[in-house]
Amino acid sequence: MNGVDRPHIIRKSPWDEARRALAGLPGGGLNIAHEAVDRHAAGPRASRVALRWLGMDETRRDITYGELAALSNRFANVYRSLGVAKGDAVIVLCGRIPELYAAVLGGLKCGAVVSPLFAAFGPEPLQTRINLGHGKVLVTTEALYERKVKKIAGAMPTLAHVLKVDSGEARTMIDAASERFEIERTSPDDPSFLHFTSGTTGMPKGAQHVHGAAVMHYATGTVALDLHDEDIFWCTADPGWITGTSYGIVAPLLHGVTSVVDEAEFDAERWYAILEAEKVSVWYTAPTAIRMLMKAGAEVAKRRAYPSLRFIASVGEPLNPEAVWWGMDAFGMPIHDNWWQTETGGIMIANTAAMDVKPGSMGKPLPGVEAAIAHRDAKGIRWVEAPDEQGELVLRAGWPSMFRGYLDQEERYRKCFAQGWYFTGDLARRDADGYYWFVGRADDVIKSAGHLIGPFEVESALMEHPAVAQAGVIGKPDPMLGEMVKAFVELKPGNEPSEELRLSILGHARKRLGAAVAPKEIAFATALPRTRSGKIMRRLLKARELGLPEGDTSTLEEGA
């Protein structure tokens, strides 16, 4: 099992077929937007619906591949006119509106690095990410600008332009722009997306992806999501998270199928109505959403019929075995769990259509993906061969959608690899049949409603409250959200715990971080457990919260 330490080598054979299904740029090179849109627009799929957009207010709009090509060309021309050059960062902060898709694809056409951000982030996570990503152009809406960006407008030195897609000025530019554009000649190794992900320490990391990832998105669209030519596909994730980009934008368009985009947030009735009325055939969603549907009851699902529905998949957090069984009850088919990460860019481990689903398991590595369980310490790597023994999930480096760096953090990137293997930071085990089972994360990162949240970012925002001296943030198990963000705060001298102060800190956190990231619970603590070097021991906070054994506390500060 000893790999060579060459993480950037793309192993050819398993991906060749997917590569052959793509066209490549005329004259050479590869660009995701060309594969996803323009090549369809130039052929018989031009009049096929690419995006079926369902607005919050019951409006709907069908956008064909031909129209999407033209609209994304307009955006590309606008970026060009603003001086966006190859490698410049375009940040897209919109709700799930049609312009988001055109803005993203237009950026890729320009050769820009595109970073879609979640519209439910508060000003602070936005500012952090735009600055870390060296954002040059920000595409947003009038309302999001007013609510979130205005407050931080002076604090983003690299930002040269803000395009509010629904404001008069930007609209005039977009409407006046040409519908023709010659795609920048990008190579498979040129940067495409920048997706932020959170770690245990420090601010988020910008995972850098490349145009060559299209090969993986195409391949996994076939193998893991079972996409066929006439499918109506619905990925419920927001493009502010990688699932919503890789599988909410790229993979379905690469396959030339029709993709449903719902602008609204989760609502059980609405979702069942969409599945039925839009004749969704392949549905990719997340455990938290499934648990919320389960809570509404299978009878609600059975009030409608879904004769078109053929395949359901889920990602982002552990999928409870009951959820898989519930799929059988509500829809007559199991839910296929799959596993991947921002860093892997695409699905790596899955229960595919051809496999027997093992409820509770993430499935098996896809063809071309080599996974293993290992332990790593100062002495090196110890491979786990025995079935059911837990360890860190590792992947042989070199699949096409592998991240190529953490922006400006070379050392952190290097540390993810050893002997040609990528260390995922997840704990898992493999059973005797080769199925992988998720055990937990090796770090303190929180997964709440499928969203990855870095405790450090939350703690930093809490400490900006005038009464807070220190904060420790953990993921507390929650039956609906998987984990819920819980904060423990130590007050500055002269402040007393009170309900009023708790609400003031909660309100502060929501305003700064946004509802998706802010803690749901805040508790006052007199002395947070710290190591002798002063670091908050989140692991211990969590053990105490859950009444679990405290584990190794040898580094704990006296008296904490």
- Contact status: 115 vs ligand 6R9 (CB under 6 A): no
Name the minimum Å distance from CB 343 to ligand 6R9: 7
Q: Pairing state of beta strands 135-140 and 161-164?
A: parallel
| Binder of ligand 6R9 out of 316, 365, 475, 529 (CB under 6 A) | 316
Interface with ligand 6R9 by CB under 6 A: which range of 29-37, 210-218, 310-318, 472-480?
Answer: 310-318
Nearest to 226 by CA among 310, 169, 110, 344: 310
Q: Pairing state of beta strands 258-262 and 282-285?
A: unpaired
Residue span 525-554 as binding mask against ligand 6R9, x where in contact by CB under 6 A, dash where not: ------------------------------
Largest CA distance in the chain: 72
- Contact status: 118 vs ligand 6R9 (CB under 6 A): no
* Burial category of 182 from C-beta neighbours within 10 Å (exposed 0-12, middle 13-18, buried 19 and up): exposed
Name the minimum Å distance from CB 299 to ligand 6R9: 27
CA angle 230, 232, 238 (to 5 degrees): 140
Interface with ligand 6R9 by CB under 6 A: which range of 178-186, 251-259, 311-319, 533-541?
Answer: 311-319
| Binder of ligand 6R9 out of 115, 141, 342, 351 (CB under 6 A) | 342
- Contact status: 184 vs ligand 6R9 (CB under 6 A): no
Q: At what angle do helices 98-109 and 65-81 cross, to 10 degrees?
A: 60
Name the minimum Å distance from CB 307 to ligand 6R9: 28
| Binder of ligand 6R9 out of 340, 406, 422, 456 (CB under 6 A) | 340
Name the minimum Å distance from CB 203 to ligand 6R9: 16
| Binder of ligand 6R9 out of 375, 441, 511, 539 (CB under 6 A) | 441
- Token reading at 464: 């900006």
Q: If DSSP codes are grouped into helix, strand and coil, which group holds residue 31?
A: coil
Within positions 191 to 210, which residues make up the interface with ligand 6R9, using CB under 6 A? 197
- Contact status: 341 vs ligand 6R9 (CB under 6 A): yes
Question: Which residue shows structure tokens 């077929």?
Answer: 17
> CB-wise, 446 or 462, nearer to ligand 6R9?
446
Name the minimum Å distance from CB 503 to ligand 6R9: 30
CA distance 89 to 112: 6
CA distance 551 to 91: 43
Q: Which position's Cβ is nearest ligand 6R9? A: 342
Name the minimum Å distance from CB 111 to ligand 6R9: 25
The answer to whether 240 and 119 are in contact (CB under 8 A) is yes
Q: Exposed e or buried b for every residue in 284-316, given b needs 16+ CB within 10 A? A: bbbbbbbbbbbeeeeebbeeeebeebbbbbbbb
CA angle 236, 350, 382 (to 5 degrees): 125
Within positions 235 to 294, which residues make up the interface with ligand 6R9, using CB under 6 A? 241-243
Q: Looking at the chain, how many residues does it have?
A: 560
DSSP state, residue 58: S
Residue span 442-461 as binding mask against ligand 6R9, x where in contact by CB under 6 A, dash where not: -----x----x---------
Tell me the one-letter amino acid at 467. Answer: A
Q: Which residues sit at the interface with ligand 6R9, rule CB under 6 A?
A: 197, 241-243, 315-318, 337-342, 362, 424, 426, 438, 441, 447, 452
